[in-house]
Amino acid sequence: MRVYCRTCNGTGEVDCTYCNGTGNDETRLLPCEEPYMYEPCFYCGRSGKVVCPECHGSAYIEDAED
């Protein structure tokens, strides 16, 4: 049976582990004086979220229990 994915709490997405959900690549500061001008995170595209690896975005997983 299908059960609610607890990894993403049913949202189908989780915080990007590369940028910790900020959406910014903090290792690549743009040549700008403003402190918040970071390059967008290449991993999530500045959304700060990535597709849940557990349910692949479906928000549900197959419970193997028989």
- Output DSSP code: residue 43: T
Would you count residue 24 as binding Zn ion (CB under 5 A)?
A: no
Would you count residue 54 as binding Zn ion (CB under 5 A)?
A: yes
Which residue number, 34 or 54, has a Cβ lying nearer to Zn ion? 54
| Phi, psi for residue 59 in degrees, rounded to 5 | 75, -5
Would you count residue 41 as binding Zn ion (CB under 5 A)?
A: yes
Classify residue 15 as exposed, middle or buried by CB count within 10 Å of its CB (0-12, 13-18, 19+): middle
Would you count residue 5 as binding Zn ion (CB under 5 A)?
A: yes
Which positions lie near Zn ion, rule CB under 5 A?
Answer: 5, 7-8, 16, 18-19, 41, 43-44, 52, 54-55
